[in-house]
A and B are shown apart, each in its own frame.
Chain A
């Protein structure tokens, strides 16, 4: 499964595991109709990795796969559920039936998800962009648009990076860095307050 020989070192196994896990990471299959298959693959890889590592009496467990489709509070909960079940055409029909005046950011996000799964990437991009414009603070919408932007700029998921990363916007990475900075700043301030002032 991991494509390593019996005599591979732990580091080699880890590297092979990481490469595979990156390839089939749920993030690469967000809004993909095949996400369940990718999840199965991920599970197999995790199991293979765990089995090897158990066998080697080490306690390094595999990464849990997460990032699933979350069912947050939604005005269109039924449609959301439909998408999660893979009933794309039905979901699209329901979405189309929603009156234009009722189309909020959530509607555009769900519309984008459906179109993306259907392979209509251009219209999905427009929809995700609109959702983010209408509600810039929603992380779910932002993540979907970021993922699409990464692909648009020539990225091949976790497998190979054939192009530059997109500029601008707030990615997950930016958030972590931001949090780290804020944390450090606070600690600095705290230290200063105690010792100097």
Chain B
């Protein structure tokens, strides 16, 4: 489910890339600080984007300083001079979502991934308890929606829109969380909804070949049953396109103080690149 929201690196300016990387490293450090070293391994670009989008709209940004990477002492990273509420929130969101993804993997996938998930479970269960204390409302939403998602998949839901709805609503809630003005809340609700839908559909497409062989649940196989693989892919591509176009339309309505070119890059270029990667089966899970 993670790693689909990324930049198109080739099209970023160097200073944009450095800022993006700086937020990634800062978030990694923040997770280590708040939730323990092991949770750092789970950091993905999606959460970097989540932090970046929030920081783009914060009153002020302290700028970056140089420091050392924990994992690679030879590498120098950039970190934010001051930690921000966005960063802490993004760390909490990451821990909560990764925890539920681990729990999900423990339940129903192949034995290999179940062992991996079991190994990750303990440190994340601890981190999750901490995150739950800090962000009880987010935790409540996530828990409720994850149950709905699992239920739909158990029932082998045949509608793509319906199957994607829980994840979409979850991201709608996460992206609009804490927005004070009514209009911003609506904008990021819609933006998050479309992003969540897009991520869910991308994930389902990524698993398509595997699920076809194993017979596991995949909404595309049910919704487009009877279509050739070619037709299915064409329809899936169209659905992904309209979903991202609507996310973009919502995103453009908000005001940003900084990082807008990076946001544009993720939405207009990164998403297209990632979509093509998944279609060409280049994205490794």
Chain A residues within CB distance 8 Å of chain B: 23-24, 28-29, 32-34, 37-38, 41, 115, 119-123, 125, 148, 151-157, 159-160, 162-163
Closest chain B CB from A4 CB (angstroms): 16
Contact of A122 among B160, B194, B249 (CB under 8 A): B160
Partner of B161, one of A115, A151, A162: A115
A184 to B73, CA, bound (A): 75
| A-contact 0/1 string along B153-168, CB 8 Å cutoff | 0000001111001001
Residue interface mask B225-245, A partner, CB < 8 A = 1: 000000000000011011111
CB of B138 closer than 8 Å to a CB of A: no
Task: Give 8 nearest A-B pairs by CB, closest first.
Answer: A152-B238, A120-B161, A151-B242, A151-B245, A121-B242, A122-B160, A154-B241, A119-B193
Whether the Cβ atoms of A119 and B241 lie closer than 8 Å is no
B87 at the interface (CB under 8 A from A): no
How many chain-B residues does the 8 Å CB contact rule pick out? Answer: 29
Residue from the list A23, A122, A155 in contact with B245, Cβ < 8 A:
A155
Cβ–Cβ < 8 Å partners of B268 in chain A: 156, 159-160, 162
Given contacts A125-B238, A153-B238, 11 further A-B contacts (CB under 8 A): A24-B252, A32-B250, A33-B186, A121-B161, A122-B223, A123-B161, A151-B241, A151-B246, A157-B245, A157-B248, A163-B241
- Beta-carbon contacts under 8 Å, B187-205 to A: 187, 190, 193-194, 197
B253 proximity list for chain A (CB < 8 A)? 24, 34, 37-38, 41
- Interface residues in B167-190 (C-beta closer than 8 Å to A): 168, 183, 186-187, 190
Which residues of chain B have C-beta atoms less than 8 A from A23's C-beta?
Answer: 252
Interchain nearest-CB distance for A134 vs B (Å)? 21
Cβ–Cβ < 8 Å partners of B159 in chain A: 122-123
Interface SS majority for chain B: helix
Can you pick out 6 interface pairs between chain A and chain B where the beta carbons lie within 8 Å of each other? A29-B249, A32-B190, A33-B186, A34-B250, A37-B253, A162-B272
Complex Cα distance A31/B159, Å?
21
Q: Which residues of B contact A120 (CB under 8 A)?
A: 161-162, 165
Chain A residue numbers with a CB within 8 Å of B272 are 154, 162
Residue in A closest to B189 when the chains form the complex, CB atoms: A33
CA distance A162 to B274 in the complex (A): 14
Which residues of chain B are within 8 angstroms of A155 by Cβ–Cβ distance? 241, 245
B176 to chain A minimum Cβ distance, whole angstroms, is 12
Q: Which residues of B contact A34 (CB under 8 A)?
A: 186-187, 190, 249-250, 253
Tell me whether A33 and B190 are in contact in the complex, defined as CB-CB below 8 angstroms, given that A115-B161, A121-B161 are known contacts. yes
A115 to B250, CA, bound (A): 17
Q: How far is the CB of B207 from chain A (nearest CB, A)?
A: 18
Bound-state Cα–Cα, A34 to B191, Å: 10
Give Cα A32–Cα B245 distance, bound, in whole angstroms: 11
Cβ–Cβ < 8 Å partners of A122 in chain B: 159-161, 223, 239
Asked whether B241 lies within 8 Å of A37 as measured between CB atoms, the reply is no
The complex places the Cα of A121 from the Cα of B193 at a distance, in Å, of: 12
Residue of A nearest to B252 (CB): A23
Q: How far is the CB of B57 from chain A (nearest CB, A)?
A: 15
Residues of A within 8 A of B165 (CB): 120
State the CA gap A154–B241 with chains docked (Å). Answer: 5
Q: How far is the CA of A69 from the CA of B197 in the complex (A)?
A: 26
Contact of B248 among A24, A119, A121, A156 (CB under 8 A): A156
Contacts A37-B186, A122-B160 given; does A152 touch B239 at CB 8 Å: yes
A29 to B248, CA, bound (A): 11
Do the beta carbons of A153 and B161 come within 8 Å of each other? Answer: no
The answer for the CA separation of A159 and B250 in the assembled complex, in Å, is 12
Q: Which residue of A lies closest to B254 (CB)?
A: A37
Residue of A whose beta carbon sits closest to that of B267: A156
How many Å lie between the Cα of A153 and that of B253 in the bound state? 23
Q: Which one of A119, A125, A156 contacts B190 once the chains associate, using CB atoms below 8 Å? A: A119
Say whether, besides A120-B161, A159-B268, A160-B268, A153 and B252 are in contact (CB < 8 Å). Answer: no
Chain A residue with minimal CB distance to B172?
A: A119
CA distance A152 to B241 in the complex (A): 5
- Measured between beta carbons, the chain A residues less than 8 angstroms from B183 are 37
How many angstroms from the CA of A28 to the CA of B218 in the assembled complex? Answer: 32
Is A159 touching B161 in the complex (CB atoms < 8 A)?
no
Nearest CB in chain A: distance from B227 CB, A: 13
